[in-house]
Amino acid sequence: MSNIQLRACRLCGRVTRRGTTEHHLIPRTCHSNKWFKRRFTREQMRETISVCRDCHHSIHKFIPSEKELGRDYHSVEALLAHEQLAGFLAWVRRQK
């Protein structure tokens, strides 16, 4: 397994054979936006979390707006509090 990171997903806690990917808590498309530049440091905008591919896909499925992701869901706690994502996480944790 070359570049695959076998770490536990920060959202569901699973370790999958496909590994994890890095999710930017503030999407890169927002980094040049003045609203984000005024409210977040460069380090905050670069922050990522390791998530499994299923969770990463679900984040972008349930919160398709990059700006909404950056404004309202820029922490693990905020992502876990999202109602639809929380339902998915409850389900996926029971999967093998």
* Distance separating alpha carbons of residues 57 and 34, to the nearest angstrom: 27
Residue 6: predicted pLDDT: 79
Residue given tokens 């820029």 in the structure block: 74
Residue 39: predicted pLDDT: 96
Nearest partner of 10 among 31, 30, 24, judged by Cα: 24
Which run of H or of E encompasses 35? helix 34-39
Which tens digits make up the pLDDT trace of 44-95? 999 999 999 999 999 999 999 999 999 999 999 999 999 999 999 999 999 8
Measure CA 88 to chain center. 13
Domain boundaries, the chain: 20-92
Reported pTM: 0.88
Residue 1: predicted pLDDT: 40
